[in-house]
Amino acid sequence: MPANSPAFDDAPIKPAGAAWKEFARAPLVPVALAASVGLLADRYIGATLEPALLTAATALVGWYFTRRTTPQTAFGWLLVCAGALAAAHHDSHRHSAAADDIAAFAKDTPVAVRVRGRLAEEPDRFRPPRHDPLLTVQRDASSSGVLDVTAVEGNAGWRPASGKVRLAVEGRIDDLHCGDAVEVSGRLTLPDGPHNPGERDYRAFLLDRQITADLRVKRSADAMVRLEEGWHSSLFGWLAVVRGWGTRALSRSLQKDESGLATALLLGDSTALDRDEWAIYVRTGVIHVLAISGQHLVILGWFAWLVFRLCGVRRRHAAWAVAGLLLGYALLTGARPSAIRAAVMVCVVCGGIILRRPVIMANVFALAWLVVLVVNPTDPFTAGCQLSFLSVFVLLWGAVRWLKPRELTPVEQLIEETRSVPEKMLRAVLRALGQTFAVSVILTAVNAPLVLAWQNVASPIGVLLGPPLILLMAIALVTGFLLLIVSPAGVWAAEPFARVTEWCLVACEWLVHLGDRVPGGHLYAPAPPMWWLVGFYMLVAGLVLFDGKRARQFLLAIFVWVFVGLALGLTPRSPDELRVTFLAVGHGCCVVIETPDGRVLLYDTGTTAGPDAMRRVVAPYLWSRGISRIDEVFLSHADLDHFNGLPELLRRFHVGQVTMTPTFPDKNSPGVEAVLAALEKHDVPRRTVVAGERFTAGSVSFEVLHPPAVGPEGTENARSLVLLVRHEGHTILLTGDLEGEGQALVTAKPIAPVDVLLAPHHGAKTANAPRGPADKPEPGTVALWSRPKLVVSSQRAGSATTHLHTSYGAVGATVWDTPTAGAVTVRSHATGVTAEAFRTHEMRVVTRGK
């Protein structure tokens, strides 16, 4: 909470002049820094548990023998101890699995199991997503949770087990709560790591939560059975009951759309809104207004303090009440790092009021960081935690000082006294508005690089949206809690608060949707490199901590640093090779072609997993390559798993044009209609190509082998766009879902052997089957026709590959499937063609220079 908040204007906060002086005399600050170094050491270097504990013990001995003779050396030993303990805590948190951990029973492929345990958290219950014409199969309601495993059923019966497993359940599990003992039947797997560059490491994400396995549960009456009701013996079980009661109260009093928003705002239920609604708040840069954060606790603490003081409650008693209220609220809403940070800081300020002792805010800030670290040592590596501490640091020690009104001269004071009361009030309001928007500008500018690093979006519109949204959400937060307090008396008692809450939320939604439609209001871009981020925030820290001439020097250095970063980002890439990457998107296809002259082209962008794969896989890969523009997208044919990611691609990248087959726009499909509408909305030109056409991109040439202007008969697969890519005498053949009559037409025209082939139709037997008798199989039609050296099959995990190895192996080709290899990157250069698999790290020379 800001030190100059009106709620604590009489709190014993000790001033300290320049910010660096306050931090220099706060004893917990170096401890927090040392602990941070320990965290980083274990996270990125691997300071394992035993050496870390040995270092901590050695440091304690050093402290003991130097504490009286050389206090400074003794304090240094304590800092070493703090860093070592932090490293040990982080290592123990992530790597303390027992021998009977559930991961020992899991494999990379799903295994049917039955396990018992207790629900460690209240399950998340997701509503059915909106109908999406770009999905091959519409999704239903689902649930997820975390199970503390106690036993696993084996051939010899039940045996003890330990550890945590993540539950993914088809359907809602409304009757189970945190603390309940359950028996679960499902398919157990080890969490998967990333399959593509830039993709989130799901395995590491779960490991940060001490989860070592995945358990997927099909919809079934006996898939999850409660063995014992245990929520009443769990604090978080009781809190879940309170949240459930609050959710029902809000649903009764508010309209359906606003009740979900109110539930997210008041109770921290992230499932109350669907993905698209959350995404709007992220794009407009105001997610902090909705997601439970320190801001919510500040508003509630301020309001509670004001009410207590107006009711005549003594300051010390009010401090106790405010501290208890905010601690309870932080736990109720999930104990997120930002909420813990705010609760700790408010409680310390309240403690200063109770004990009548001065408070050094730098010490309070460092203590909050240490508490967050102790609760969960992996939280400091999350976006919410980093943004929360960064914002408070800049606000308390920077913005408050920078925006402090200067003292009036005697003449100005005389003029001020002559103004009328209405004029004074108007000037005060304008001054407050100016400072509010100034704070919004400062925080947006400081947070922008970090937000860009985590979410690849910059939201200048957030500067304008932030202040009015904070005001509306503050009113809705206060009236919403008053609604919950009086709701037991009946709907009539809650009605006035419900209407005010609803009006505020409606206004918020209107503003956010309006901001989302503003051209240039948000921009997607690649993340800045880590070295640039570190340098930027070191300069920001200098600007905040120093004043006068040094502060101006740091400000100038920041401008120079930003210019350097922009200049490096705008520098065109000038490789001398063709780079073709077959992304691992499951049952679908996306091939990224980067030409030597800097152009970027995509062949297909879709998967049966739906448009979400664009957000999770394709866009992160492109950003990891520093790509913000796509010159052309080729759509092989009008099957959803080859084009349903295009609308999300258009939202994130500028696309020069889209190329399609003659029959693509003619297919009567809601998905095709959605894509054509998206192309029109984003004003993207489209063209049609047919067999025989050729075009170039610098030293790379493209030849369309299929389809003809008319036909052939059959499904869209038979009319797939077949593209032959040539560079430096090397060839890569992209086939889409080519099969049937279309495959017969293409293979009837001989071509020279190709270097790399995209297996037709995701490696399916119908398009790649070997010929000949079962005991003496021969190469398939496509294998004999193209005679590739490397075959890449873009397919879902678990799909058969034996027939691929048989068919293409007969002509000497190597087969890589994307579930096993991950993304496959092929490089063509004058000296030859090489290929590298992302998951297996295998590299091979496909063709030597010609």
Poorest-confidence range of 4-13, 245-254, 281-290, 484-493? 4-13
Q: Measured in whole angstroms, how far is the alpha carbon of residue 61 from the centre of its chain?
A: 43
pLDDT at 1: 40
At residue 675, the pLDDT reads: 96
Is residue 819's pLDDT more than 80?
yes
Q: Which residues have C-beta within 8 Å of that of residue 432, sequence separation ≥ 6?
A: none
Tell me what pLDDT residue 573 has. 65
Residue 270 pLDDT > 80: no
Q: What distance in Å separates the CA atoms of residue 272 and residue 261, rounded to the nearest whole number?
A: 7
pLDDT (average), residues 672-700:
95
**H-assigned helices in 333-460:** 337-355, 361-375, 383-394, 400-402, 410-418, 421-455
Enumerate the β-bridge partners of residue 398.
Answer: none
Note the pLDDT of residue 272.
Answer: 79
Percentage of the residues of the chain whose pLDDT score is greater than 70: 97
DSSP state, 335? Answer: -
What is the mean predicted confidence (pLDDT) over 260-283? 85
DSSP string, 526-579: PPPPHHHHHHHHHHHHHHHH--HHHHHHHHHHHHHHHHHHHHHHHSPP--SSEE
DSSP 3-state assignment of 640? helix
**How confident is the model over 835-839, as a mean pLDDT?**
97
What's the rounded mean pLDDT across residues 543-558?
92
Helix pair angle (530-545, 548-570), 10° resolution: 160
Band of pLDDT at residue 421, cut at 50, 70 and 90: confident
Confidence of residue 127 (pLDDT cuts 50, 70, 90): confident
In three-state secondary structure terms, 203 is helix
pLDDT at 836 (0 to 100): 97
The pLDDT tens digits for 448-463 are 999 999 999 999 999 9
- Ramachandran region of residue 763, left (φ > 0), alpha (ψ -120 to 50) or beta? left
Confidence of residue 634 (pLDDT cuts 50, 70, 90): very high
Closest CA to 203 of 187, 218, 214: 214
Q: What is the three-class DSSP state of 247?
A: helix
**How far is Cα of residue 684 from the mean position of the Cα atoms in its chain?**
28
Q: Where are the domains of the chain?
A: 21-95, 102-232, 242-524, 530-570, 578-848
Mean pLDDT, residues 533-545:
95
Please state, in angstroms and as integers, the Cα–Cα distance from residue 716 to each residue in 147, 736, 746, following that order. 45, 10, 15
Comparing 88-97, 252-261, 343-352, 811-820, which segment has the lowest mean pLDDT?
Answer: 252-261
Percent of the chain beyond pLDDT 90? 63
**pLDDT number for residue 17:** 58
Cα 555 versus chain centre, distance: 30
DSSP characters over 784-842: HHH--SEEEE---TT---HHHHHHHHTTT-EEEEHHHH-SEEEEEETTEEEEEETTT--
> Is 549 a residue whose pLDDT tops 60?
yes
Query: pLDDT at position 768, please?
Result: 93
Rounded to whole angstroms, the Cα distance separating 640 from 799 reads 19
pLDDT in tens, 474-521: 999 999 999 999 988 887 888 999 999 999 999 999 999 999 999 999
| Mean pLDDT of all residues belonging to the chain | 90
Region 627-635 average pLDDT: 95
User: Domain spanning 102-232: which CATH class is it, in words?
Assistant: mainly beta
Asked if 570 contacts 580 with a C-beta cutoff of 8 angstroms, the reply is no
CB 635 within 8 A of CB 602: no
Residue 556: pLDDT band with limits 50, 70, 90: very high
578-848 CATH pick, 1.20.1250.20, 3.60.15.10, 3.40.50.1970, 3.30.70.270: 3.60.15.10
Whether 561 and 536 have beta carbons less than 8 Å apart is answered as: yes
331-367 confidence digits (pLDDT tens): 888 888 988 999 999 999 999 999 888 889 999 999 9
Q: What pLDDT sits at residue 221?
A: 62
Average pLDDT over residues 114-143: 85
Per-residue pLDDT at 13: 54
> Where is pLDDT greater, at 497 or 8?
497
Residue range 25-52, pLDDT digits in tens: 899 999 999 999 999 999 998 877 888 9
Region class of 567: left (phi > 0), else alpha (psi between -120 and 50), else beta: alpha
Q: What pLDDT is stored for residue 193 in this prediction?
A: 92
Residue type, 846: V
**H-helix segments, 707-770:** 740-747, 765-768
Give me the pLDDT at residue 8, please. 45
Tens-digit pLDDT profile for residues 647-667: 999 999 999 999 999 999 999
